[in-house]
């Protein structure tokens, strides 16, 4: 037997191809093409698109859906899904608006909004991790519970009263010419990146998305990690809800319609376009930001050209489908 040192045909080309197909750069290829394409298109056909002011506007517009997308991305990297992010943001926003209306002050309004987000994430996480409820169903249900609560409570009326300048600063203020929501987005990005890219918890979330069994065999409490991922996403939703409410200068119940579907569409498209593997275990937060940036450019440019929200949604939905096809093709190799 030992003399049979035949080289097992290791197809170098095949291995190289496999490496290329699974490389991070290849992952975001459609995103780069989309983004470049839309930028060029709008620069030519949309008057006033390519101005500093408008580009800052794009960033401001994507700020809260991007914060949502970061949280959602962490869940998907961990092998889960959260359909409730939009509705959680809506609830957090309405709660902080109500706190302002009740005269509890800015810090309390922010705190209550964040607690609402954290709480929803923890509920999702514990039901999924410890009760074994499929995340798709659990988060869908929670989204509609939130919608119901918001509408029963507000009767569908926006909450305007009692907004403080300090609170509004979070949505419409500037720091050195940079809109506050953009700064909050960048801050969230940095914190999430440090967490998922540089701590053992973050590494376990990636590993969880690869194989829960293998991670458990390594002696890691996988349930706790799963709960952690959903709780972080809940927190991000809380932050997004507060920024959104400050930007709209009101607590808007209508955001929760359909369980926060529009926000969900925006953030999930950003995540998938950004190269996060829908089956989990892989993805970068910077990619996600690229994905939501594309959506921002698309909706902004289309709006300038006179296309309404519904037509924009058609295009975003289509972009999500293309990104999904790309994702599935790559997984099949």
Partner 1 sequence: MSGGVSVAATAPHKYGVDVARKSILEMKGISKNFGSVRALDNVDFEVYENEILALVGDNGAGKSTLAKTISGVHQPDKGEIYFEGERVRISNPRASRALGIEMVYQHLALFDKLDVASNLFMGREIFMPGFLGTILKFLDKKLMYKRSDEILQEIKIDLDSSKKKVGVLSGGQRQAIAVGRAIFWGTKVVVLDEPTSALGVRESHEVLELIKELKEKGLTTVIISHNMQHVFKTADRVIVLRGGRRVGEIDTKTSSGDDVVKLIVGADDLT
Contact between 236 and partner 1 by CB under 8 A: the answer reads: no
Binding track over 254-283 against partner 1, x by CB under 8 A: -----------------------x---xx-
240/28 Cα distance (integer angstroms): 25
Residue (10 or 177) nearer to partner 1, CB? 10
Tokens of residue 186, six digits:
């960048």
Q: For the chain, what is the radius of gyration of the CA atoms?
A: 21
Per CB under 8 A, the list member of 1, 13, 25, 131 interacting with partner 1 is: 1
Q: CA dihedral in degrees (207, 210, 211, 216; nearest 10)?
A: 0
Helix (H) or strand (E) holding 198: helix 180-198
Residue (60 or 282) nearer to partner 1, CB? 282
Tokens of residue 155, six digits:
């009767």
Give the total of residues touching partner 1 (CB under 8 A). 34
Contact between 215 and partner 1 by CB under 8 A: the answer reads: yes
Residue (90 or 323) nearer to partner 1, CB? 323
Per CB under 8 A, the list member of 4, 13, 25, 131 interacting with partner 1 is: 4
Contact between 213 and partner 1 by CB under 8 A: the answer reads: yes
Residue (6 or 131) nearer to partner 1, CB? 6
For tokens 């390594």, the residue is 218
Q: Which residues contact 329 (CB under 8 A, 6 or more apart)?
A: none
Contact between 138 and partner 1 by CB under 8 A: the answer reads: no
Residue 157 is given by DSSP the state -
- Whether the CB-CB separation of 219 and 228 falls below 8 Å is answered with no
Identify which range of 41-49, 101-109, 121-129, 209-217 contacts partner 1 by CB under 8 A: 209-217
Identify which range of 46-54, 168-176, 207-215, 262-270 contacts partner 1 by CB under 8 A: 207-215
Buried/exposed 40-52: b ≥16 CB within 10 Å, e otherwise: eebeeebeebeee
**Three-state DSSP state, 300:** helix
Contact between 5 and partner 1 by CB under 8 A: the answer reads: yes
Residues in contact with partner 1 by CB under 8 A are 1-2, 4-8, 10, 15, 18-19, 22, 194, 198-201, 203, 206-207, 209-211, 213-220, 277, 281-282
């Amino acid at each position: 037997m030992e003399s049979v040192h035949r080289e097992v045909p290791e197809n170098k080309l095949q291995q190289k191809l496999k490496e290329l197909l699974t490389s991070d750069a290849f992952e975001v290829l459609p995103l780069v093409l989309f983004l470049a394409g839309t930028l060029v298109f709008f620069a030519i056909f949309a008057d006033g698109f390519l101005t500093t002011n408008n580009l800052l506007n794009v960033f401001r517009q994507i700020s809260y859906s991007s914060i949502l997308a970061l949280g959602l991305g962490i869940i998907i990297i961990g092998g889960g899904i959260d359909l409730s992010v939009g509705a959680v943001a809506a609830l957090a926003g309405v709660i902080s608006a109500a706190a302002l209306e009740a005269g509890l002050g800015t810090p309390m309004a922010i705190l209550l909004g964040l607690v609402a987000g954290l709480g929803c994430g923890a509920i999702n996480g514990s039901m999924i991790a410890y009760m074994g409820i499929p995340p798709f169903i659990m988060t869908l249900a929670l989204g509609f519970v939130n919608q119901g609560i918001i509408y029963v409570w507000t009767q569908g009326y926006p909450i305007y009263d009692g907004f403080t300048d300090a609170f509004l600063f979070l949505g419409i203020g500037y720091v050195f010419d940079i809109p506050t929501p953009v700064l909050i987005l960048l801050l969230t990005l940095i914190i999430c990146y440090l967490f998922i890219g540089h701590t053992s918890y973050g590494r376990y979330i990636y590993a969880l998305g690869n194989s829960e069994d293998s991670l458990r065999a390594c002696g890691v409490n996988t349930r706790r990690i799963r709960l952690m991922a959903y709780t972080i996403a809940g927190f991000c939703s809380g932050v997004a809800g507060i920024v959104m409410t400050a930007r709209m200068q009101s607590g808007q119940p209508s955001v929760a319609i359909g369980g926060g579907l529009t926000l969900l569409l925006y953030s999930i498209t950003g995540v998938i376009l950004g190269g996060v593997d829908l089956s989990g275990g892989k993805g970068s937060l910077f990619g996600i930001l690229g994905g939501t940036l594309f959506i921002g450019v698309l909706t902004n440019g289309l709006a300038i050209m006179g296309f309404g929200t519904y037509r924009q949604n058609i295009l975003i939905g289509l972009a999500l489908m293309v990104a999904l096809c790309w994702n599935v093709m790559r997984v099949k190799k």
